[in-house]
Amino acid sequence: MMQRISRLAPAVCLAVGSALAGAGTAAEKPFEPVVGQEGKDVVWVPTPPALVEKMLDMAKVTPRDFVMDLGSGDGRNVIAAARRGARALGVEYNLNMVELSERLAEKEGVAGKAKFVQGDMYEADISQATVLALFLLTENLNRLTPKFLELKPGSRIVVNGFTIDGWEADETGRADGDCGSWCTAYLYIVPARVAGKWRLPQGELTLEQRFQKVTGALNSKGASVPVTDGRLFGDRLSFTVDGVAFTGSVTGDAMHAADGTWRATRMSD
């Protein structure tokens, strides 16, 4: 019996060694994401390359932009923005995805502009972003909307497939080419904040705001005249009062026409 065991020992050692080597190879295999894999807040479904480019076209991304993606997955939105010369940052909860994104950015030669961090998209600081390129569910977008509205007026938010409740998209686009089920994108332009009371030479202007749509009234000489056709496009405001059109820009607590024909200042509460 002892002789038999001693004869088997080399074979057993070889088998164990082979198994350990195989385990080592498996452990060293690079992470590969699977479509539909669950994440913290969403499952991972990649945006088709054709729609990625369409989204960046709609947002008019240039090298002057700072592009962010929340829940950035394999980093394709961020990498595509960096290829256009923009600084870009992806926030992704799955560390394996972060590491994969970094490898892909390095492979594409844009690691100097495309950065990735592990983090919760709801906690991310987006205050410096000029463009958000996103693929999130409406429920995720709705939860993030208060942060969106704190961005600088004129910042662009472009979303694959899903919309933000109550906020009318400024542009809807469809990708050409192979995009499968995901071909439509929605662009939202962050509006200036104009709700409140303003002093015009003609009287007191009270404005109400629902995203980029504006309503209200001008109170002058005891009469209240409704504001019609009120709309914001970033920091550009247009509205009509009693047939007179007002078009101008908003800067903090002041708004004015480019030609100087009218000017308004915000009234304190």
In the chain the beta strands, taken as DSSP E runs, fall at 66-70, 87-92, 114-118, 131-134, 156-160, 171-174, 184-189, 196-200, 203-210, 213-220, 223-233, 236-241, 244-251, 254-256, 263-266
49-189 to CATH, choices 3.40.50.150, 3.40.190.10, 2.40.420.20, 3.40.1190.20: 3.40.50.150
**Per-residue pLDDT reduced to its tens digit, 151-191:** 999 999 999 999 999 999 999 999 998 999 999 999 999 99
Enter the pTM of the model: 0.86
- Mean pLDDT, consecutive 10-residue stretches, the chain (269 aa), reads 37 43 57 77 88 98 98 97 98 96 98 97 97 97 98 98 97 94 97 96 94 96 92 97 95 94 91
